[in-house]
Amino acid sequence: MEANQTFQAGRDGFLKRNRTALITGSAKGLGVRIAHELAAQGIDIALNYRTSKSDADKLQQELIHQYNVNVLLLQGDVSHPADAEAIIETVASSWGHLDILILNAGPYVKERKKLADYTLEEWDRMIGGNLSSAFYLCKAAIPHMRNQRQGRIVTVGFEKAQTAPGWMYRSAFAAAKTGLVSLTRTIALEEAEYGITANMVCPGDIVGKDKEKHIADVHSLSDPDTPVGRPGTGEDIARAITFFCSEASDFITGTVLEVTGGKDVLNKYKLEREQ
């Protein structure tokens, strides 16, 4: 992690004792809407990014001016153990506490490739970025949450991840996220005595710019492939994550929640092949 790219800012120029949240991979996509949703609750936000510094800078200013919260920018690759630990320790030392950890970062190979066609590098990147990174971050964050006797951990999966399904052309990603389901539920059991909850949100087929949209942006749009009749948005996912992060959600742990609009995402490839 590059220390010279890590800084704190707030409109009032002083550190407030709000609840704090670290969101990994938060400069673009779903991370943007998650950050807005949590900041709207008065939660101070630590934004992690790997290469998208200009997007992170822009989001930082939006959060400060719209919600008057403190915002920390943290550059680093969470699939590297040293970066993951440094990111957690920077949040804890800067604000004195880490209340919420959102594991949003996760690489994805868009090209449809069967298992035998994956390169070793692609496999390592999928497992490292989607599963090992969760171990690194949680290992560093949990001791701080134990000391506080409270904490919220939310991971991001995919539709049906809790059933360990086969997913054509997505073998590495699916294997990593399925493992993450078990890891999330294990953390929920192990850390319950410390007031720490761990839950997973599984988005449906939300892609591209829709990841950063509000629900109001798509209410007038039709999506015949989704049973609820409209496209999904980043706000749909962010609202679910925010629910798990609530202080009043302390009785909800080990849960995997699908937010899909009823769409069968995994089997769309099968349907396409049959048409």
Q: Is the model's pLDDT at 190 over the cut of 60?
A: yes
Provide the pLDDT for residue 206: 86
Q: Which domains does the chain have, with CATH numbers?
A: 3-274 (3.40.50.720)
Distance from C-alpha of 112 to C-alpha of 134, rounded to nearest angstrom: 25
Contacts of 250 (CB under 8 A, 6+ apart): 150, 195, 197
Segment 32-43 mean pLDDT? 96
Alpha helices per DSSP H over the chain: 30-39, 53-67, 81-95, 120-127, 133-148, 171-191, 234-245, 268-274
Distance from C-alpha of 62 to C-alpha of 65, rounded to nearest angstrom: 5
Segment 35-60 mean pLDDT? 95
What confidence tier does 11 reach under pLDDT thresholds 50, 70, 90?
very low
Segment 67-83 mean pLDDT? 96
What confidence tier does 68 reach under pLDDT thresholds 50, 70, 90?
very high
Decide: 44 and 95 in contact? Cβ < 8 Å: yes
> Which residue do the tokens 């999928």 mark?
126
Helices H / strands E in the chain, number of each:
8, 8
The radius of gyration computed from the CA coordinates of the chain, to the nearest angstrom, equals: 18
Q: At what angle do helices 133-148 and 171-191 cross, to 10 degrees?
A: 20
What confidence tier does 208 reach under pLDDT thresholds 50, 70, 90?
confident
Q: Is the model's pLDDT at 128 over the cut of 60?
A: yes
Q: Is the model's pLDDT at 80 over the cut of 90?
A: yes
User: Nearest-CA neighbor of 206 among 61, 60, 102, 108?
Assistant: 108
